[in-house]
Amino acid sequence: MTTPEPRLTSLAHGGGCGCKLAPAVLRDILKGMPLAGPFADLMVGTETSDDAAVWRLNDSQALVATTDFFMPVVDDPFDFGRIAATNALSDVYAMGATPIFALALVGMPVSVLSTDTIGRILQGGASVCAAAGIPVAGGHSIDSVEPIYGLLALGLVHPDQVLTNRGARVGDVLILTKALEAGRSAGRACRYRRHRFRPAGPCAGDGAGRGIAGRALGGLSGPARWCRSPCQGRRAHRRIDAELGQLWRGSAVA
């Protein structure tokens, strides 16, 4: 008698972007690391915690590069692959770019999951890339304790049309491409993360992992406009959280 495979989510200590290191922990880890610059053609690096790095190729093209991977948020292998791939490609779109190809990042407990299950995860990711009109041109795989899947994604954008998570101003319209609190439900995560969104505006960002309040604060945190002190930053974050809480309660009533 064959022992049934465990649920994907039971093999992960944290699902989706909930696996991310806390911002304070990450800052402490990276405090001794040198900055990415100065390089004249590096348009977006590590300094602004953006969704991707951007390198100017010439006067009409810039290369956008990002990598994103996580552990299962759902138990269906195909859906896990689709959600993870969509999450990775959304970082390219958030920079205003068009993806050109992707590489798969795969870590799987091969003694626990069958090759069929692992294959379904990769097929789910490949289906999202195919829908975006790009190939999965290769990748890297390891035998790991927990299931991990994602993509390294590359895209192209005109240097004058790069979108970053900076530049938001008081009075700008905030457009959400999914419902608030969607990340708390696996069903909602499936519905929203299987769809790609192309932003159009002065400032854009993928809210996964940091929350809408964190993203909104980041959009206002250009040194010339905001955050003259950590105290001001904390006050702004609390205000954004409170206002979004009111918005969420109002939408629930409606």
227 catalytic? Reply is no
Cβ atoms < 10 Å from Cβ of 79: 21
Q: How far, rounded to the nearest angstrom, does the alpha carbon of residue 41 sit from its chain's CA centroid?
A: 24
DSSP 200-238: -SS-----TTTHHHHHHHHHT--TTTS-SSHHHHHHHHH
Residue 225 CA to residue 232 CA, distance in Å, equals: 12
* Cα dihedral across residues 176, 197, 122, 106: positive or negative: negative
The b-or-e profile of 47-68 (16+ CB within 10 A means b, else e) is: eeebbbbbbbeeeeebbbbbbb
Cβ atoms < 10 Å from Cβ of 97: 27
User: Which of the residues are catalytic?
Assistant: 17
